[in-house]
Amino acid sequence: MAKQITESSGNVFADLGMANAEEHLLKAGLVSKLAEVIRALGLSQTAAAKQTGISQPDLSRLLRGRFRDMSADRLIRALIRLGSEVDIDVSRGGEPVGEPIHLEAVAA
């Protein structure tokens, strides 16, 4: 019996038929970046939680892929609180729409 292979659309959440697939993909990408930054800084979950303003239990859940209840805005703010800069590019038909939006931590 031959196995049928279906090529991905590039969004696993859409491939699974989930509602709000684009939002899930965005949040998954942000959580992945958050994990990379935490690892690069050598932070424990407790230290990362203090810096990001996300409780340690919530941060643990996020890093294990349970991010449904966390907004993309809050994930972006967590990245910024860890000293990261976030750029958002918008394009239409492959052409940029204005300049990228650049977000970075504001000096206290």
Contact 70, 77 (CB under 8 A): no
Q: What is the spatial distance between Cα 38 and Cα 70, in angstroms, rounded to a whole number? A: 18
- One of 2.40.50.140, 1.10.3210.10, 1.10.260.40, 3.40.50.2020 is the CATH number of 12-103, namely 1.10.260.40
Position 79 scores a pLDDT of: 96
Q: 107 pLDDT exceeds 80?
A: no
Q: What is the pLDDT of residues 4-53, one digit of tens each?
A: 888 888 878 777 887 888 898 999 999 999 999 999 999 999 999 999 99
Domain residue ranges in the chain? 12-103
pLDDT band at 3, cuts 50/70/90?
A: confident
Q: What is the pLDDT of residues 45-80, one digit of tens each?
A: 999 999 999 999 999 999 999 998 999 999 999 999
Q: Which long-range contacts (CB under 8 A, 24 or more apart) does 78-81 make?
A: 78/34, 78/52, 78/53, 78/54, 79/30, 79/33, 79/34, 79/37, 80/104, 80/105, 81/51, 81/52, 81/53, 81/105
Q: 108 pLDDT exceeds 60?
A: no
Position 74 scores a pLDDT of: 96
Position 28 scores a pLDDT of: 93
Task: Supply the pTM of this predicted model.
Answer: 0.83
Tokens representing residue 70 in the block: 């966390």
